[in-house]
């Protein structure tokens, strides 16, 4: 699956804001991202993964585990 690219400055701005929210709410020990089975966090992480900003390393239902792409 190819990565999506932000098409407008507004889209990039929204992705940046979403990235900040995920970083604040989901970042845990060892720099692992965990949605903690919160649907909004899981959806946000999946969306950021579509844009190549995070890598999902595990999923089970609403729980998504991932890491930031360097």
59: containing domain: 9-68
Give the pLDDT score at 2: 78
The 10s digit of each residue's pLDDT in 10-61 is 999 999 999 999 999 999 999 999 999 999 999 999 999 999 999 999 999 9
State yes or no: pLDDT of 1 exceeds 80: no
Give the pLDDT score at 27: 96
Give the closest residue to 68 by CA, choosing from 29, 9, 27: 27
The domain tally of the chain equals: 1
- The model's pTM is 0.92
CATH number at residue 55: 1.10.10
Domain presence at residue 26 = yes
Domain presence at residue 29 = yes
Give the pLDDT score at 64: 98
Other C-beta atoms within 10 Å of 49: how many? 19
Give the pLDDT score at 45: 98
Residue 67, beta-bridge partner list: 55
């Amino acid at each position: 699956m190819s990565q999506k690219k932000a098409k407008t400055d507004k889209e990039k701005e929204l992705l940046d804001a979403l990235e900040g929210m995920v970083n604040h709410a989901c970042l845990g020990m060892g720099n692992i991202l965990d949605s903690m089975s919160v649907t909004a966090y899981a959806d946000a992480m999946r969306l950021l993964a579509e844009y190549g900003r995070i890598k999902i390393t595990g999923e089970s239902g609403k729980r998504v585990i991932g890491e930031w792409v360097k």
